Amino acid sequence: MSRPIFVRLSACAALLLIGWGGQAQAQDHTEYDPADIEYGLSVYRSQCVSCHGDTGDGIAGVDLRSGQFRRAASDRDLRGLISNGIPDTGMLAFDLDTAEMTGIIAFLRNPNYEVDAVTLGDAGRGQMLFEGRGDCLSCHRVKQRGPRGSPDLTAIGTARPPSALRRSLLDPTGTMRPIDRPVELVTDEGERVNGRRLNEDTYTVQIIDDQGRLRSFDKDRLQQFTVGTESPMPSYADLLDEQELADVLAYLVSLKG
């Protein structure tokens, strides 16, 4: 089923991102990961629908369905506009993390993206699989249960659409968000630290280490800072049959925080 994709940047973000029907400008992108596009849809739904509407044309003279914008010819331009806003207009500045910004950009550039249809099973059976044979609480945290080393899933049903969740279960590495990639650090004292990023800027990085501790590091005091490309999460493609997968998905979708 085809669904239009429009990013909700704010109640008045449309003043910034005015759809432009002219000839496409040179872009600084090549392609977008489906999981990023769908994550961008969830960000849009949480922040932007009240002004832009479900179809992206809720403000007169603005149509986010075009995928092109008068003030932003490139993805870099879009990032700047979203981060800084536009003075003397209703377009506010937004402090988005890396994953949110990646998703928003991907979503804005793909107004006709087709969201996969998925089958949801029984959430109760899914919870039993999640906590039992799936052994998911050994890594993930749900409602104060489980460690902090992997992403907290307490509100995953709000943050990610079902189709993206299904792909994450089947192909964890291929659908891993940039902010969730594992990292390995070596400090200037020689300490080696493994963990998951929570936040990163030009000068610092904050992680949850493999002991569940929140730690912050100055980048100029690191001997090594390596971002992994393989997810530590196993694929459930061969561990769950289709009904079990549908049940686990139903449970994940039910987690609203």
CA dihedral 172, 128, 239, 148 (to 10 degrees): 30
User: With a threshold of 0.75, does the pTM exceed it?
Assistant: no
Q: Which CATH architecture has domain 182-227?
A: Roll (2.30)
What is the per-residue pLDDT across 12-42, written as a single tens digit (0 to 9) for each? 444 444 444 333 334 444 578 777 887 787 7
pLDDT at 30 (0 to 100): 54
- Alpha-carbon distance of 155 to 51, in angstroms, equals 24
Q: Does domain 123-176+232-254 have CATH number 2.130.10.30?
A: no
| pLDDT at residue 169 greater than cutoff 50 | yes
Work out the burial of residue 214: count CB atoms within 10 Å of its CB; fewer than 13 is exposed, 13-18 middle, 19 or more buried. exposed
Say yes or no: do domains 13-108 and 123-176+232-254 share a fold: yes
Which residues have a Cβ under 8 Å from the Cβ of 42 and sit 6 or more positions away?
103, 158, 159, 160, 161
What is the per-residue pLDDT across 42-99, written as a single tens digit (0 to 9) for each? 777 777 766 666 666 666 666 777 666 777 788 898 889 888 877 776 677 778 777 7
127 and 253 in contact (C-beta within 8 Å)? no
pLDDT at 15 (0 to 100): 40
Q: Which CATH architecture has domain 13-108?
A: Orthogonal Bundle (1.10)
Domain boundaries, the chain: 13-108, 123-176+232-254, 182-227
